[in-house]
A = this chain, B = another copy of it.
Amino acid sequence: LPLPSDVSWRFAQANFQPVDVADQLTALLTVEEIAACLELLPLIRRTEIFDYLPDGIQEAVAGVVSLDSLMELLEELPSDSAADLFNYLSPDQQADLLKDLPARNRATIQHLSSYPSGTAGALMTSEISLLPTGINVQRALEILRRTATGSETIYHTYIVDPRHRLVGVVSLRELILAPPKASLDKLMTEELVTILPDEHQQEAARLVSRYDLLALPVVDESQRLLGIITYDDAMDVVEEEDTEDIHLSASVAPLETGLLRTSLVNLYRSRVMWLILLIFANLVSGVGIAFFEDTISAKVALVFFLPLLIGSGGNAGAQASTLMVRGLAVGDVGLGDWTRLLGRELLVAGALGLTMAIAVSPIGMFRGGTDIALVVGLSMVVIVLFGSLLGMSLPFLLHRLKWDPATASTPLVTTLADAGGVVTYFALATWLLGLH
């Protein structure tokens, strides 16, 4: 895209999808330039593009534009995005804006911005297309045509009773195909998947994906309809939550923005805490080694197999914990499956341990004879079993304690399995080789 000073920018951007323009702006321009570019555009286009800017850039742009521009954005954005933008502002800006906003927008924004980020409530939009009970299809289509511009989607319309309680849903497809005089109450579907506003956004995304919904209604305890979560927002949540889980799996704290846009300080912060903690966890292995210093001095050849043995325990543990963390995240396994999974893991890890013992024994034989081969092989079986059971149990334990199971990261499991591996190996060696 040409630079913002160039008026031809206005023409150039019109050929691109809003998300692509937003990406280009973010990649190439400073915050002030982005704000200047946006000011050149008509309000609807400007709002579309702004809505696709990353959160951090939205926040920064909101800090440099005029209060009038902010007001226009807040009025034009879908209510869920407007509430997010509102939450980025300073308390002073918030107070100034609330004073001047039309009453209807003010109420919506205050309501939506009150839900903590990460909940279903914070994800929902209040631009819902609604119909009353007791009308026919023709009347329903008339109402839809009149109110369509204010709704995020009209493909599913929700039917509410006079107390605003959700009683059913009807799709535009059903309305179009039904005879005009048919009763809406007979046409609508009454079995609805819904969610409470304080549930986790991941649960909302899971429901949308599982039931192939276009939109998921959010209701309060008395079934009153508060808003809807659309499939595209649910898709964004899936990507966001998976990224968070994947980063946690390597002991990286969640990043607010993409890898290239995160500041070096934040990148450092997201990594340093776990690395330091793991140093101290690794000390346990060091203490284990120090305890067996006599064994090591008596048979230095044993150290040759140390990385291989403890590495294998850590790797098997990493596999087991990763399988379990993902299984819990996608709802594939639950707390009740614990005993069944334990039995399966015992069998699989036992078989893996035996296979690896067979693979490693010839090396033991070659480096130190039958004795060493026996110690190394036996250690392998015990260490792989220990690592695997640790790896599968830790996510369950964390889940039970209401922690994120993904905290059972590969480095954590590996480190703990290492400590167990060191002790197992040298204890078996001391005992079997009579080195004490």
B303 and A243 within 8 A (CB): no
Q: Is residue A252 contacting chain B, with contact meaning CB distance below 8 A?
A: yes
B315 and A286 within 8 A (CB): no
A249 and B286 within 8 A (CB): no
CB-CB < 8 A to A283: which residues of B?
A: 308, 363
Q: Is residue A342 contacting chain B, with contact meaning CB distance below 8 A?
A: no
CB-CB < 8 A to A315: which residues of B?
A: 251, 274-275, 278, 411, 415
B259 and A327 within 8 A (CB): yes
User: Interface readout for A304-341 with B: 1 if CB under 8 Å, 0 if not?
Assistant: 11111011101110110111111100101100010011
CB-CB < 8 A to A290: which residues of B?
A: 301, 304
CB-CB < 8 A to A337: which residues of B?
A: 260
CB-CB < 8 A to A246: which residues of B?
A: 242, 245-246, 249, 322, 325-326
Q: Is residue A160 contacting chain B, with contact meaning CB distance below 8 A?
A: no
CB-CB < 8 A to A177: which residues of B?
A: 145, 148
Q: Give A314 Cβ to nearest chain B Cβ, in Å.
A: 7
Which chain B residue has the least Cβ–Cβ distance from A388? Answer: B271
Q: Give A426 Cβ to nearest chain B Cβ, in Å.
A: 11
B300 and A249 within 8 A (CB): no
CB-CB < 8 A to A231: which residues of B?
A: 231-232, 235
Q: Is residue A223 contacting chain B, with contact meaning CB distance below 8 A?
A: no
A80 to B193, CA, bound (A): 26
Q: How many copies does the complex hold?
A: 2
Q: Give A241 Cβ to nearest chain B Cβ, in Å.
A: 9
Known contacts A144-B176, A312-B278, A315-B274: does B304 contact A286 (CB below 8 Å)? yes
Which chain B residue has the least Cβ–Cβ distance from A176? Answer: B145
CB-CB < 8 A to A95: which residues of B?
A: none
Which chain B residue has the least Cβ–Cβ distance from A353? Answer: B275
Q: Is residue A91 contacting chain B, with contact meaning CB distance below 8 A?
A: no
B282 and A312 within 8 A (CB): yes
B411 and A314 within 8 A (CB): yes
Q: Tell me what chain A mostly uses at the interface: helix, strand, loop, or mixed.
A: helix
Interface size (A, Cβ < 8 Å)?
107
Q: Give A295 Cβ to nearest chain B Cβ, in Å.
A: 10
Q: Is residue A347 contacting chain B, with contact meaning CB distance below 8 A?
A: yes
A173 and B154 within 8 A (CB): yes
CB-CB < 8 A to A303: which residues of B?
A: 289, 293, 296, 303
Q: Is residue A224 contacting chain B, with contact meaning CB distance below 8 A?
A: no
Which of B172, B285, B325, B411 contacts A307, CB < 8 Å?
Answer: B285
A29-37, A67-75, A208-216: which one contacts chain B? A208-216
CB-CB < 8 A to A348: which residues of B?
A: 264, 267-268, 271
Q: Is residue A378 contacting chain B, with contact meaning CB distance below 8 A?
A: no
CB-CB < 8 A to A341: which residues of B?
A: 259-260
B211 and A247 within 8 A (CB): no
Q: Is residue A279 contacting chain B, with contact meaning CB distance below 8 A?
A: yes
A410 to B260, CA, bound (A): 21
Q: Tell me the chain A residues, 242-296 only, with Cβ under 8 Å from chain B.
A: 242-243, 245-247, 249-252, 258-260, 264, 267-268, 271-272, 274-276, 278-279, 282-283, 285-287, 289-290, 293, 296
Q: Is residue A135 contacting chain B, with contact meaning CB distance below 8 A?
A: no
Q: Which residues of A contact B (CB under 8 A)?
A: 15, 17, 19, 141, 144-145, 148, 154-155, 172-173, 176-177, 191, 193, 208-212, 214, 231-232, 234-236, 238-239, 242-243, 245-247, 249-252, 258-260, 264, 267-268, 271-272, 274-276, 278-279, 282-283, 285-287, 289-290, 293, 296-297, 300-301, 303-308, 310-312, 314-316, 318-319, 321-327, 330, 332-333, 337, 340-341, 344, 347-348, 351-352, 355-356, 359-360, 363, 384, 410-411, 414-415, 418-419, 422
Supplied contacts A144-B176, A285-B308, A296-B303, 5 more A-B pairs, CB within 8 Å: A214-B214, A251-B315, A259-B324, A260-B327, A260-B340
Supply 27 A–B pairs (Cβ within 8 Å), ascending by A: A172-B172, A209-B239, A212-B232, A252-B319, A252-B322, A258-B332, A259-B327, A260-B327, A260-B332, A260-B333, A268-B352, A272-B352, A274-B315, A275-B315, A275-B356, A278-B315, A279-B359, A282-B311, A285-B311, A286-B307, A297-B297, A306-B306, A307-B419, A307-B422, A315-B415, A318-B411, A414-B414
